[in-house]
Amino acid sequence: MTLSRRISSKIILLILICLVSFIVTVRIYVDHHLKKCSDQNNTPHHTLTQPPNTSDQSILEQVMERGKLNCGVYGNLAGFSNVSQIDMTQDNIEEQKQENTSGFDIDICKAIAVAIFNDPKAVKYKYLDSEERLKSKEHLESKKYDVLSRNTTWTVSRDVSDNNIEFGPIVFYDGQGILVRKNSEVKSLNDLNGTTICVKAGTTNQENLDDEKENRQLTFQIKPFRSQKDINRRYKQGECQAVTADKSQLVGLLSSLNNPSEHTILPETLSKEPLAPAVIDSDQQWVEIVRWVVFTLIEAEELGINQNNLEEMKDSKDPKIRRFLGLEKQEKSIGSLLGLEKQEKSIGSLLGLEPDYAQRIIDKVGNYGEIYNRHFGPNTSTPIERGLNNLWNNGGLIYSPPFR
């Protein structure tokens, strides 16, 4: 063997030794790092070490330390958020309000609380009017509430301005409508020239009505009011010839009238009103928790899992169902990319929640369809056909990304 060949062989051998050493070093580092992550994720949530300064805590840690979820809601909108059965002669008015608040938006709050505490009562409702709702940034940053679940329309100005608000998934596809008396023979907004239309102040409904008036060059008068009760009262008294709001709200108003059959909601839709919960955007884990709790409600309906068959579904052999319910872990591919052993985590642990969080939600609150039917079904005081709020595979727009 020539000298040059011996030198070449030594160089190749040296390169191979270096390469093997590098691979071994990387494997040792990755194994240590993944084990550390696994140990952290396997730590029970109730033993989390809480920093003394709440400004250093995540929102999840603060909620868990507090023992309750603070949820910003309305409290005076049939179907979505309504307070009932209050005995004003008693001293515990606030306690009664908390116990007797119900609705579609309220069940979203409960689902988040159940995901964390397995307790639908671990919620404190913060009642907000339209003007208070517009101070979302201030209230979220000051921790007045952790999540806003208050029939709020997702708009570009609310999303990308300096509000620092992150919207969750759309939970209700709505549209602005008009309520009139049947004997008025009004068929559309164009027929309301010379009349007075009442609208809630500080809402997208008022902005949309202004736009339509200017665009169509109409001559009706717009009367904004801060209180929905004022609007309802003035319409009943005939001071307003029409009321405009989201159609879901008008259904609630219609049901409260003495003779609902004498009134009608016009088929015309003035705007898109996608309603979604909102959180502060500075805590990505919290954004993801709220987002995927909503998606959990939707996915549960798509998979056919409900409160009645949950126990039966736990015995399913379908890997999608087992993974969704936390019965099988989700494979992590970080290690496999380096030819290492795969790390497995439940979907719940990826969010910082317990593996069975989806089971908890379905058991205590139900799936999206059950929540919808509970508050807008045909046997409720606010019956609203699902329409766009059907699942995507049933002609609607309600859709969840894959749980994998």
Question: What's the full length of the chain, in residues?
Answer: 404
Residue 49, domain member (yes or no): no
Please indicate, yes or no, whether residues 218 and 166 belong to a single structural domain of this protein.
no
C-beta neighbour count of 9 within 10 angstroms: 11
pLDDT in tens, 267-278: 999 999 999 999
Where in 129-182 does DSSP place strands (E)?
Answer: 147-148, 165-167, 172-181
DSSP 223-257: EEES-HHHHHHHHHTTS-SEEEEEHHHHHHHHHHS
Please report, for the domain that includes residue 330, its CATH number. 3.40.190.10
Residue among 335, 341, 336, 305 nearest 320 (CA): 305
Please indicate, yes or no, whether residues 285 and 386 belong to a single structural domain of this protein.
yes
- Supply the pTM of this predicted model: 0.80
Q: What are phi and psi of 90, to 5 degrees?
A: -90, 160
Q: What is the reported pLDDT for 89? A: 75
Please indicate, yes or no, whether residues 94 and 58 belong to a single structural domain of this protein.
yes
Query: Could you give the CA distance from residue 237 to residue 250 in angstroms, rounded to a whole number?
Result: 17
Give the three-class secondary structure for 265.
strand
Q: What are phi and psi of 274, to 5 degrees?
A: -80, 120
Domains in the chain: how many in total? 3
**What number is the average pLDDT over the span 84-97?**
82
Domain limits for position 134: 54-171+276-394
Residue 270, domain member (yes or no): no
Q: How confident is the model at residue 164 (pLDDT cuts 50, 70, 90)?
A: confident
pLDDT in tens, 366-379: 999 999 999 999 99
Please indicate, yes or no, whether residues 166 and 63 belong to a single structural domain of this protein.
yes
pLDDT in tens, 256-270: 898 999 999 999 999
Residue 404, domain member (yes or no): no
Query: Could you give the CA distance from residue 246 to residue 348 in angstroms, rounded to a whole number?
Result: 35
> Is the distance from CB of 239 to CB of 230 less than 8 angstroms?
no
Residue 399, domain member (yes or no): no
H/E element, 207:
helix 204-216
Amino acid at site 330: Q
Handedness of CA 65, 66, 71, 72 (dihedral sign): negative
